[in-house]
Amino acid sequence: MRDAYIVTAKRTPGCKQRKGAFKDTRPEDLITFILDAAMSATPGLEKKDVEDLMIGCSFPEAEQGLNIGRIVSQIAGFPTGTSGATINRFCASGLEAIALASLRVMSGWSDIVIGGGVEAMTYVPIGGYLPRPHPEYSEDSANYYMSMGITADNVAKRYKIAREDQDEFAYLSHKKAAFARDNNLYKELTPTPATRFVLQPDGIYKKETFIQAADDGIRDTTTAEGLAKLNPVFTAGGTVTAGNSSQMTDGAAVTIIMSEAKVKELGLKPLAKLKYYTTVGCRPDEMGVGPRYAIPKLLKKAGMDIKDIGVWEINEAFASQALYCIRELGLEKEIDNINIHGGAIALGHPLGCTGAKLCAQLLTNMRERGVKYGVESMCVGGGMGAAALFELCD
């Protein structure tokens, strides 16, 4: 098969659900803007050259419903002939979209495809607006519909992940993120227009636009001692709190993927190649353990070992599950190479966007450190794990 080259990877800031800068900004506007930003950052590429858009979205309903992948292609001004699809693998939706876009290029079916993701959790909550579990099936299999927070408490209890360790992990996430923000290390982040409605003296709300330039969930003043004072939020006597869980977030991210022939034709210097991608199932009542199984499966496919990987992005859905996976994989000695600029506890987890967002962050980190191989992985609601291997281009 051909190689799939990522030539551009961009993301918006991640902003807090209902309280953040994007609370009045529609998801279509977020993904449309970052599509335009990625196109503008790719010299010589015109919208007519893009054949398809694969856009991840975990809860494609309401404002982000119908087929947002197709809708935003048209809002963004791609020609009618550019198709679009919406991809849903819950927390791995954005990465799944990138993988599917890459496969189209690898197979020769397409030469230029965009993969990305969007989630506006202000507009559509976890679970969506009208979840309807199967009545008979759920009597014996309710775990498949279980709150992810409860599964995180299950992981903490079953595998003895101490509350103190979870809070310390969360504190470090904020610390790393604040450092990266203050030192302009998020090279993949593009300041993004945001909407707000301002009450006027005549009682009418006026729509205004401002530029949001940073992730607004980072808490500089977070301490492990402060986190220790928070109450559990999912199970009585549990150890998972709002402070050691990922934030619910609004955001969007995209990658532009090309064949080698198109890269050469446009005279571009690609960022990286997607080499391998895999998924795996696990018990739904401890869905957070997914990366612990997906990463070994990925490395086996690639004929590689943990020591071959220079940088990791392991999604911090919850500190309990991230710590469990790190320990089980023997990655404690690699902790300085994991989520080096903070993770979802500080930066947020905009579900369908996260896989694309982490891809953009990972490629930035690989270039910053000059490492050849990086891995992105996450747990997935319903009991799954996903992982992808990227190779930095010279």
Which of the residues 57, 359, 379, 393 is marked catalytic?
379
Q: In the chain, at which residue ranges do the beta strands (DSSP E only) sit?
A: 5-11, 15-16, 52-56, 83-87, 112-120, 192-199, 205-212, 249-258, 272-281, 311-314, 373-380, 384-392
Backbone phi and psi for residue 67, each to the nearest 5 degrees, phi listed first: -120, 85
CB neighbour list of residue 84: distance below 8 Å, 6 or more residues apart: 52, 53, 54, 55, 67, 69, 70, 71, 72, 73
Q: What is the per-residue DSSP string for 64-94?
A: G-S-HHHHHHHHTT--TT-EEEEE-BTBTHH
Q: At what angle do helices 319-328 and 148-158 cross, to 10 degrees?
A: 50
Ramachandran area for residue 312 (φ above 0: left; ψ -120 to 50: alpha; else beta): beta
Q: In 222-310, at which residue ranges do the beta strands (DSSP E only) sit?
A: 249-258, 272-281
**91 carries an active-site annotation:** yes
Would you report the helix, strand and coil content of the chain in percent, each value rounded to 5?
40, 25, 35
DSSP 303: T
CA atoms of 62 and 351, how far apart (whole Å): 16
**379 carries an active-site annotation:** yes
C-alpha distances (whole Å) from 49 to each of 6, 11, 109 are 15, 21, 14
CA atoms of 393 and 282, how far apart (whole Å): 33
User: Count of CB atoms within 10 A of residue 24's CB?
Assistant: 15
Residue 15, helix vs strand vs coil = strand
Which of the residues 91, 325, 353, 393 is marked catalytic?
91
Q: Which residues of 86-120 are buried (b: 16+ CB within 10 A; e: fewer)?
A: bbebbbbbbbbbbbbbbbbbbeeebbbbbbbbbbb
Which of the residues 349, 353, 359, 393 is marked catalytic?
349
The residues annotated as belonging to the active site are 91, 349, 379
